[in-house]
Amino acid sequence: MIKKIEQFIIDEKVAAKLVAKWFNRKDDGSFSTELIAERGSYDATTLDVSKAKMQSNSVSTQMEDAGYELIGNTFLIVNKANFIENEVGAAIVYEAAKLGIATMKQENAMQKMVKDAASAAAEALYERTRKGYTVGTRSFLYKLTWNDSISDIFYTDYWVDESMSVDEKKIKKDLFDNTDLFSLEFVGMEKATVMVLNLKAENLTTQQIISEATIRTDNKVFAKLQKEYDVFKPKTPLAQVENKGKLCTAKIGLKEGLTGKEKFAVLEQFTNKEGLTEYKSIGTIKIDKKNIWDNLYNASEPPVIEGEVKIQATHFKGCKKKYYAGLLIRQKK
């Protein structure tokens, strides 16, 4: 499977397409930095590669920072899912249950009542499980390779902007289209299995069941990837810090695989001597087991409007007065 995926990545030039996406590549091959500026909260008027190559260190530093923060943290996940209808397994269990129930005595009213109850329970279980799907997913995680040498070649040899002549644009466009400079490196693989029943909806469609099973198993396996591989651990902002740090929350929950045992480092952003963004840990918080946000996808029970659920974010213990909304947190192993 890995060989097939990696051959597809090469054949379809996926790595180059990811770079092109970051720089809003147009049909004529020209690039721009609007998306990077937007995602990284940079100054769009100064974040310009043509200026960076010949002007101030601050602009060059911004481009280097953007590459480290954004482009270098670009990931590709390829999922392989197996869908199995629960009908077969449910029928086997149901037939076995009926055989067992058939051997039960019914010589008196009590025995007959117990046998009837067992029969009704077996039938109810069969009806509840038979319409669902079991989905097994393997997720293969890849990371875009981006470093100083690759970025230098890209900016020098392949960069195209609107000020260039038509001929120069065409030359550089062809070079980019045919380069093998960009690549994706394999990080790791995780797998997960989820069974989704017909839940509480009487008329849940097959498409809804499959959609729910797919989303749930994707969330489960993504959470495993995030826990296992440090490079894929996301930074999540604190949503609120109130009452002198006694209440702090973040918009993560069961979908991200939280169980209540996790600890998170609280990170503060600063700029180092080279002008690049770095993060330092200023403390540790842990999940409040009684207040974990249930943000799992549920097709049969659409999300309720705000105010009708108990919590809209996960609560943490160990917060301090110096913490504030917007500080980033990252899960610790």
Residue 23: closest CA among 33, 13, 11, 15: 33
254, 289 contact by CB (below 8 A): no
One domain, residues 298 and 238? yes
* Separation between Cα atoms, residue 176 and residue 4, nearest integer Å: 24
One domain, residues 171 and 283? no
| Residue 187 domain-assigned (yes or no) | no
Backbone angles phi, psi at 111, to 5 degrees: -65, -40
Backbone angles phi, psi at 309, to 5 degrees: -120, 160
β pairing state of 247-250 and 314-317: antiparallel
One domain, residues 250 and 306? yes
One domain, residues 220 and 262? no
Q: Tell me, what's the pLDDT at 52?
A: 59
* Separation between Cα atoms, residue 208 and residue 267, nearest integer Å: 39
Q: Which residues contact 246 (CB under 8 A, 6 or more apart)?
A: 319
Which residue bears the tokens 């644009």? 169
| Residue 161 domain-assigned (yes or no) | yes
Q: Tell me, what's the pLDDT at 107?
A: 79
Alpha carbon 325 to chain centroid, angstroms: 22
Backbone angles phi, psi at 322, to 5 degrees: -75, -10
Tokens of 150: 């690759």
One domain, residues 154 and 118? no
As a residue count, the chain comes to 333
One domain, residues 7 and 65? yes
One domain, residues 13 and 52? yes
Q: Tell me, what's the pLDDT at 329?
A: 94
One domain, residues 100 and 203? yes
Q: Tell me, what's the pLDDT at 171?
A: 94
One domain, residues 223 and 301? no
Q: Print the domain residue range for 261.
A: 233-331
Residue that is last in its domain, among 206, 227, 248: 227
User: Other CB atoms closer than 10 Å to residue 281's CB: what's the count?
Assistant: 13
pTM: 0.75
Report the number of distinct structural domains present in the chain.
3
β pairing state of 247-250 and 236-242: antiparallel
One domain, residues 38 and 177? yes
Residue that is last in its domain, among 227, 253, 284: 227
Q: How does DSSP classify residue 154?
A: I
DSSP string, 214-261: HHHHHHHHHHHHHHH-GGGPPPEEEEEEETTTTEEEES-BGGGT--S-
Q: Tell me, what's the pLDDT at 71?
A: 92
pLDDT tens-digit profile, the chain (333 residues): 999 999 999 999 999 999 999 999 999 999 988 888 888 777 766 677 765 554 545 556 777 788 878 899 999 999 998 888 777 667 777 778 888 888 888 878 887 887 888 888 877 777 766 766 788 899 999 999 999 889 889 988 999 988 889 999 999 999 999 999 999 999 999 999 887 765 555 556 777 777 777 888 888 899 899 989 989 988 899 999 998 888 999 999 988 888 899 999 999 988 888 777 888 999 999 999 999 998 876 655 555 545 555 678 999 999 999 999 999 999 987
One domain, residues 6 and 64? yes
One domain, residues 164 and 41? yes
| Residue 186 domain-assigned (yes or no) | no
